[in-house]
A and B are shown apart, each in its own frame.
Chain A
Amino acid sequence: MASTMSALDSAGRRGRAGGSRARRDAWVFLALALPNLALIAFFTYRPLLVNMYYSTLDWTLGAMDATVVGFGNYVEFFTSPDAPAVLGATGIFTVATVGGSMVLGLLVAVSLNQKVPGRTLARSAVFAPYVLSGVGVGMVWLFIFDPVYGALSWVLRSVGMASPQWINDPKLSLVMVIIVYVWKNLGYCAVVYLAGLQSLPQDVMEAAALDGAGPLRRFFLVSFPLLSPTTFFLLITSLLSSLQAFDIIKIMTPTGNGTGTLIFEAYLQAFGAYNRAGYSAAISVVLFVLLLIMTGLQLRFVERKVHYA
């Protein structure tokens, strides 16, 4: 970038006076970038601040007036049974989906990393669910999980087992949405891990093989440690997207039966049955603080990555 800029700058200086040129460039910059920047500022950054303000109000969505309650909503959230339930569901969902899609993604990546015909097709196939509508995918899986007419219940019956009550049992509902979320996202992890595996230095792998290391030792003592930047990248991006999971949870458990994660609970409180805008905003702020910590880690990682490479 530096070389590009200085080249253009010197070309400009040769032509006209620097001052008017800089002023004109500033106008060009604003004309090009301002619409996008203004939209991002107004619809992405402004809501973060507005949410913090809303979170201090006792305010019913649609009502004309609201009472200022300070940290009341936060106190209510953290002292009510909501907090352990919501934070628990968020924690279980996040750990299980991130862990599940990364471990399975790595396994798929390792098997994709062989020189067998058809692997390009398999790679596309496993990635496909990642780009599909979470609502459509959730609906398909809801049918598969149906305790009476679902394909899964049929499979279980044919081996002599009764289908679990996926929909009615809150614990199983959470398991169900986790399974679907992992199914949708493991292809992303697999493709990213595959790229990591393919960029491993071949001479190191060769040296380990010549030293007599077996396949398992080579994987755990050589490949996996060398993949650590990829693992860290996936950990952060998966954490971020898990904390934002909404579509699958909403379509499969419309009223949040054991699946009230932070994001879904914030939605239910404001737009579900309760219309509690202030309380919902407080939950959103809690979620945002969590995401902020993740983002901080991500930015530090980008920095580290530069030194690594």
Chain B
Amino acid sequence: MSAPTTAAAGNAASPARGIAGNAPDATNFSDAKGPVAPERRERPLSRANLARTLATGYLPLLLATVVVAAPLAWMVLSSLKSPGEIITTDLTVLPRNPTLDNYAQAATTVPFARFFANSVIVTVVGSTIKCVLAVLTAYALVFVRFPFKRAIFLAILVALMVPPQVSVLPNYIFIAGLNGLNTYWGIILPGLGTAFGTFLLRQHFLTLPASILEAAEIDGAGHFRRLWQVVVPISGPSIATVTLVTIVGEWNDYIWPLIVTDRPEMMTLPVGLTLLANSDSTAQAWGVLMAGAVIVIIPILVIFAALQRFIVAGLTQGSVTG
């Protein structure tokens, strides 16, 4: 507790330092200003200062990063170990003879390649349709005249807060009635309406300068040309945000695919991992289960690592802007 607060105080005590960080002149400036700056600041690279920076600055960050990364690293390492290295109380960190046997066994116990293909199909089709619907709806809400737009927007805002879990039973009865169990459309259809994407893009479209659209309209561009040739091209980052957040959501979606599929060849990866965990031959076979977890987790982790700026922005939307 005291470590991070002291460190924060270090920053707050000398706001004049700004992004200059430990640059000597900035440090002198803050020292000259007032009695609050500790004397140690006079020598930014002194041993005491360095130790303090390490303890208050790096230690908490390092600790947090390790707490997050260790379980994921453990997953990957364990998936490469032989059963003898896992079913033992004599734990080793690195696999002695890294092997892909666990992946092979996961794939022979359950159709993992098929799960992967199903997840890709559901994610690509579902996300594409959702993003197109979000762009169209947001454009209509911002740029097309219509009565009751405020009420419609409010309904979308409320839908944003209704969890899909509450709707599974009625949707299950409906989809089952249309023979949609164990079909792609049955998995995809109920989740297609997108309140999140509509909300996020509407907020962005409201910030676009009206003059651009007026110019396009005076040039005789109809709504469809204005949408595809003006609004969409200048909204790249926002559309990317919506797309990525939607992809993450579709890939990880669990309760609906779990309920609507019971034939292995139609299951998505998270549901298939559950099947793997429940199958007798892999009970307690942690290496095989970790291999399954790697296949579920790593694709999203890679996308996140490459494009995290957009994803973080999308998921924390509303926290600062309101």
Contact = CB atoms under 8 A, between A and B. Distances in A.
A277 interface: yes
Interface string A118-156: 110110111111111111110111011010110101100
A36 B68 contact: no
Interface stretch (B97-105, B138-146, B234-242): B138-146
A199 B223 CA distance: 38
Secondary structure call for the A interface:
helix
Given A26-B146, A39-B193, A32 B140 contact: yes
Interface residues of A, number: 127
Contacts of B9: 209, 214-215, 218-219
Contact of B159 (A44, A111, A112, A135): A44
A51 interface: yes
Contacts of A146: 286
A178 B299 CA distance: 26
Contacts of A263: 163, 165
A244 interface: yes
Contact of A271 (B7, B144, B259): B259
Contacts of A299: 157-158
B195 A40 contact: yes
Nearest to B259: A271
Contacts of B6: 215
Interface string A208-227: 11101011101100010000
Interface string A12-49: 10000000001001101110110111111111111110
A149 B58 contact: no
Contacts of B173: 50
B24 interface: no
A112 B61 contact: yes
B69 interface: yes
Bin the interface of chain B by size: 35 or more
Interface string B292-310: 1100110011001100100
A191 B68 contact: no
A44 B274 contact: no
A112 B61 CA distance: 7
B178 interface: no
Interface of B: 1-13, 15, 17, 19, 21, 34-36, 53, 56-58, 60-62, 64-65, 67-69, 71-72, 74-75, 78, 86-89, 91, 133-134, 136-137, 139-147, 152, 155-159, 161-173, 189-195, 198, 206, 208, 210, 213-214, 217-218, 223, 248, 251-252, 254-255, 258-259, 269-270, 273-274, 277-278, 284, 286, 289-290, 292-293, 296-297, 300-301, 304-305, 308, 311-312, 315-316, 318-320, 322
25 contacts: A28-B144, A40-B195, A47-B168, A51-B166, A110-B5, A114-B56, A126-B64, A128-B301, A128-B305, A132-B301, A133-B252, A136-B292, A137-B293, A140-B297, A143-B74, A143-B78, A144-B71, A154-B89, A199-B320, A205-B12, A233-B318, A254-B278, A263-B163, A263-B165, A305-B322
Interface of A: 1, 3-5, 7-9, 11-12, 22, 25-26, 28-30, 32-33, 35-48, 50-51, 54, 107-108, 110-116, 118-119, 121-122, 124-137, 139-141, 143-144, 146, 148-149, 151, 153-154, 157, 183, 187-188, 190-192, 195-196, 199, 202, 205-206, 208-210, 212, 214-216, 218-219, 223, 230, 233-234, 240, 243-244, 246-247, 250-251, 254, 263, 266-267, 270-271, 277, 280-281, 284, 287-288, 291, 294-295, 298-299, 302, 305-306, 308-309
